[in-house]
Amino acid sequence: MTRIAFRFCFTYFGLFCLIFPQFLFVYAGVLGPKLPERAINGFLYPLSPVWEWVGRQVFDADVALHLDSGSGDQAIIWVFLFSILVVAVLATVLWTALDRHRPNYPRLLAWYLLFLRLCLGGQMLFYGMAKVIPSQMPQPPLATLLTQYGDFTPAAVLWMQVGSSPVYEILLGCAEVLGGLLLFLPRTATLGAMISLVSMMQVFILNMTFDVPVKILAGHLMLISLVLLAPQAGRLANVLVLQRSSDPATQPDPFRSRRVRLIAAGVQAVLAVWVLLGQVQQGMEFWNESGGAAKPALYGIWTVSEFSQDGQPLPPLTTDQDRWQRVVFDIGGMTYQKMDGTLVPVVGAVDSQAHTLTVSQAAGDTLPGRIAQAQPTQLASFTYSQPAPNRLHLDGQLNGHHVTLALEQVDLKSFPLRGTEFKWVQDYPHFS
């Protein structure tokens, strides 16, 4: 049964790591940004016609790989899993029939575990550095402070919960990076696999309970950690559970001589540094474009205290579709809020020298906090002045009408999420 399990795992996880996005891409290191944008999708993209055919023939479903989606749980990826599962079962049956008398596969096992170690280590560095440089879950945008909690999806709640505490996110990333780095060294690989298992169990549970579409990858990284620990199961049980003496937990090594093993260990250490540098470079680039970017000139949330259209003041009625209630200038873009509370993300171009503001909106539907990739159409153009740092006056054209707006800046610390400070002593919890 152990040999059969090895044959299945060898085929299934081998195909998964070779084909699934990101596993091979992380080894591009600092050259990753120079590769085509689709390179991160690995062989999943060029082989997508195979998964589409399986989807039609087996499930009677039209599936396609959506390159514009950040979801790792797309229908076509589930079809891919089904396909490699069938291949692994068939390969296991055929392999067992042709090689049923072989007692074991020590050398093949050693090479296989080395391959899995490098695959898992690369992914731990990939996701870990995205948290160490807190860009995977950035601080909640200003517009979210104006959104009702019940309007958020479970995934958005998780993202904002982690993003609201950058220190917590960084510590999560440090644990993943530590596990990844330890996996690259044979002497510390068992400890690295244990740390990776705990980290991925947490990620998998969060993905399952908050409906984050990375369930497939997180679940497989957890299983790969278990496969790496399987040869050490007896030793770990003796030390951690049965309180017995145990031999050292040594990783199966495919290299015969001590000199070659030392060279191989050095190469693995260099690979770890190479992958880590690549993730640091990409993380810093993303950080400089988002969370670490300079704040725009009018950064903040502004409440519209007065709104006039064609010389007539518009009262703040919730039924008014023309009047604005608030305007938000954030690092990621501009948003205005209608009187009924609807938040509309737009493109705001501020010229701080000429004191002009041009507001455009992309054609088509847009996602909250994200601008659709289409040719923008201009909605408004204003000249602005600031009589005081917390006062703003806009004068210009909006939807074909001449409008003037008087705005007052909101103190961001008036929001408990931004203004609540850490306290060592609390006689009562601060839940509201």
Q: Are residues 164 and 141 in the same domain?
A: yes
Are 77 and 44 contacting, i.e. CB atoms less than 8 angstroms apart?
A: yes
For the record, the structure tokens of 197 come out as 């298992």
Q: Are residues 137 and 210 in the same domain?
A: yes
Q: What is the pLDDT of residues 368-393, one digit of tens each?
A: 333 344 466 889 999 999 999 999 99
Q: Are residues 274 and 347 in the same domain?
A: no
Are 192 and 176 contacting, i.e. CB atoms less than 8 angstroms apart?
A: no
Report pLDDT for 375: 60
In a domain, 127, yes or no: yes
Are 335 and 143 contacting, i.e. CB atoms less than 8 angstroms apart?
A: yes
CA-CA-CA-CA dihedral for 399, 333, 65, 74, to nearest 10: -110
Torsional sign, CA 226, 228, 231, 232: negative
Those residues of the chain that have pLDDT short of 50 are: 364-374
d(CA 52, CA 63): 6
In a domain, 428, yes or no: no
For residue 414, count other CB atoms closer than 10 A to its CB.
10
Q: Are residues 50 and 89 in the same domain?
A: yes
Q: Are residues 321 and 242 in the same domain?
A: no
Nearest to 307 by CA among 292, 293, 324, 294: 324
Q: Which residues of 231-247 are buried (b: 16+ CB within 10 A; e: fewer)?
A: bbeebeeeeeeeeeeee
Are 232 and 190 contacting, i.e. CB atoms less than 8 angstroms apart?
A: yes
- Cα 300 from chain centre: 26
Are 384 and 357 contacting, i.e. CB atoms less than 8 angstroms apart?
A: yes
In a domain, 429, yes or no: no
Are 141 and 288 contacting, i.e. CB atoms less than 8 angstroms apart?
A: no
CATH number for the domain that contains residue 342? 2.40.128
- For 306, the enclosing helix (H) or strand (E) is strand 300-309
Are 35 and 28 contacting, i.e. CB atoms less than 8 angstroms apart?
A: yes
Q: Are residues 321 and 244 in the same domain?
A: no
In a domain, 22, yes or no: yes
- Cα 289 from chain centre: 16
In a domain, 385, yes or no: yes
In a domain, 227, yes or no: yes
Q: Which residue range is the domain that position 402 belongs to?
A: 300-417
In a domain, 423, yes or no: no
CA-CA-CA-CA dihedral for 97, 99, 101, 106, to nearest 10: -140
Which CB contacts under 8 angstroms, 24+ apart, belong to 244-253?
249/190, 251/110, 251/113, 251/117, 251/186, 251/187, 251/189, 251/190, 252/106, 252/109, 252/110, 252/113, 253/110, 253/186
Q: How many domains does the chain have?
A: 2
Are 275 and 30 contacting, i.e. CB atoms less than 8 angstroms apart?
A: no
In a domain, 430, yes or no: no
